[in-house]
């Protein structure tokens, strides 16, 4: 059963086809008992839209009982289904349809999983949650790695998470036709991140550590600075080497774990250092 289904009549025609279609797509399937193929298409469409109630209303029309509606749509044969948006037909199916053709038809108009992940990533970026943005954008990219809008949101999230090399790699694949104002903004953001990651303050700390390479306070200060400018791998490498040579250094070990926890869910860098730490401890 489709919980978002309705049988179209003259009484609800204006509400469903003219009003509701402003908010959601309305898929209208025309059928008649004497045309078994139309019943088959109706039932397939009802089933395949049953879980898409957020985006589409499924409406069926009994052409025997609702001849005026069939005439209004200009239906000349069955089976037929018409997709309506804002009161206007935007696409149609005609004739018997295999499952694959129906799925392709719906995929053209209904949001795909990658669209949902992309929307989550965009919302997370707007809220300043870089880790959540990266996780959601990465899932969208894994589903469709060809779309420029997904690449740009993932690149933006990568910059915010300190994955500057990944961000640059993504930007390098964006075609010139897609290099819009958002692309330029991400490029500028990446340039600023690269500048911040090698500031004079960091260089001064690195020079001090070069003179006193075993100073735990300098190691922790530099690692903390690395982490703040999203140079997480440099921070983890520095801290792990310290913990490896001074296993009783609880402060460095705690900072190491804190940097790992700050990484996005599923980040391979966190998995890498979790394994390294495990082998060190056991």
- Measure the CA–CA gap between 34 and 69, rounded to whole angstroms: 18
pLDDT at 53: 86
Task: Give the residue-averaged pLDDT of 66-85.
Answer: 96
Instruction: Give the tokens for residue 90.
Output: 């935007």
Tell me what the mean pLDDT of segment 249-276 comes to: 86
CB 93 within 8 A of CB 84: no
Q: What is the pLDDT of residues 43-58, one digit of tens each?
A: 999 999 998 888 999 9
* pLDDT value at 3 more than 80: no
Helix axis angle for 216-228 and 250-261, nearest 10°, is 10
Predicted pLDDT of residue 264: 79
pLDDT for 106 equals 93
Q: What is the pLDDT of residue 201?
A: 85
- For residues 253-272, average pLDDT: 85
Q: If we measure between CA atoms, which residue out of 218, 253, 225 comes closest to residue 239? A: 253
DSSP β-bridge partners for residue 217:
none
At 25, the pLDDT band (50, 70, 90 cuts) reads: very high
130-165 confidence digits (pLDDT tens): 999 999 999 999 999 999 999 999 999 999 888 889
Distances (CA, A) of 92 to 33, 82, 107, 225, 228: 21, 4, 13, 58, 54
Taking the C-alpha atoms of residue 123 and residue 54, their distance in angstroms, rounded to an integer, is 18
User: Which residues partner with 7 through β-bridges?
Assistant: 60
CB 38 within 8 A of CB 69: no
CB 107 within 8 A of CB 91: no
Q: What pLDDT does residue 195 have?
A: 80
Phi, psi of 164, deg, nearest 5: -70, -35
Least confident span in 17-26, 95-104, 139-148, 266-275: 266-275
Write the DSSP string, 233-258: HHHHHHHHHHHHH-TT-HHHHHHHHH
Locate 124 and state its tokens.
């997370």
Band (177; pLDDT cuts 50, 70, 90)? very high
**In sequence order, which residues have a C-beta less than 8 Å from that of residue 147 and are 6 or more positions away?**
114
Question: At 27, is the secondary structure helix, strand, or coil?
Answer: strand
Residue ranges of domains in the chain, CATH in brackets = 5-108 (3.40.30.10), 113-197 (1.25.40.10), 200-281 (1.25.40.10)
- Report the distance separating Cα 257 and Cα 278, nearest Å: 12
- Can you give the pLDDT at residue 282? 60
Query: Would the pLDDT of 196 be above 80?
Result: no
Tokens representing 181? 């104002």
pLDDT confidence band for 23 (50 / 70 / 90): very high
Quote the Cα angle for 278-281-282, to 5°. 80
167 has pLDDT over 80: yes
In this structure, how many other beta carbons lie within 10 angstroms of the beta carbon of residue 201? 10
Mean pLDDT in residue range 10-19 = 96
The confidence score (pLDDT) of residue 1 equals 62
């Amino acid at each position: 059963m489709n919980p978002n289904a309705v049988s179209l009549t003259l009484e609800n025609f204006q509400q469903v086809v003219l009003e509701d279609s402003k908010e959601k797509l309305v898929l209208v399937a025309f059928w008649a008992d004497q045309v078994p193929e139309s019943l088959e298409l109706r039932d397939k469409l009802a089933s395949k839209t049953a879980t898409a109630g957020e985006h589409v209303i499924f409406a069926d029309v009994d052409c025997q009982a609702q001849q005026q509606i069939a005439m209004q749509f200009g239906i000349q044969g069955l089976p037929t289904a018409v997709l309506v948006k804002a009161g206007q037909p935007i696409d149609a199916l005609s004739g018997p349809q295999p499952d694959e053709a129906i799925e392709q038809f719906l995929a053209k108009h209904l949001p795909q999983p990658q669209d949902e992940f992309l929307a989550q990533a965009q919302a997370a970026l707007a809220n300043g949650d870089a880790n959540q943005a990266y996780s959601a954008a990465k899932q969208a990219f894994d589903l469709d790695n060809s779309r420029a809008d997904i690449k740009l949101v993932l690149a933006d999230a990568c910059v915010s998470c300190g994955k500057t090399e990944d961000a640059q790699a993504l930007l390098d694949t964006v075609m010139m036709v897609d290099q819009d104002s958002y692309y330029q903004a991400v490029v500028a953001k990446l340039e600023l991140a690269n500048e911040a990651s090698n500031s004079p303050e960091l260089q001064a700390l690195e020079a001090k550590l070069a003179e006193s390479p075993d100073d735990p306070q300098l190691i922790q200060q530099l690692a903390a600075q690395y982490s703040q400018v999203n140079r997480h791998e440099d921070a983890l490498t520095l801290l792990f080497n310290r913990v490896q040579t001074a296993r009783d250094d609880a402060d460095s070990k705690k900072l190491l774990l804190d940097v790992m926890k700050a990484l996005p869910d599923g980040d391979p860098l966190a998995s890498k250092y979790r394994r390294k730490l495990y082998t060190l401890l056991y």
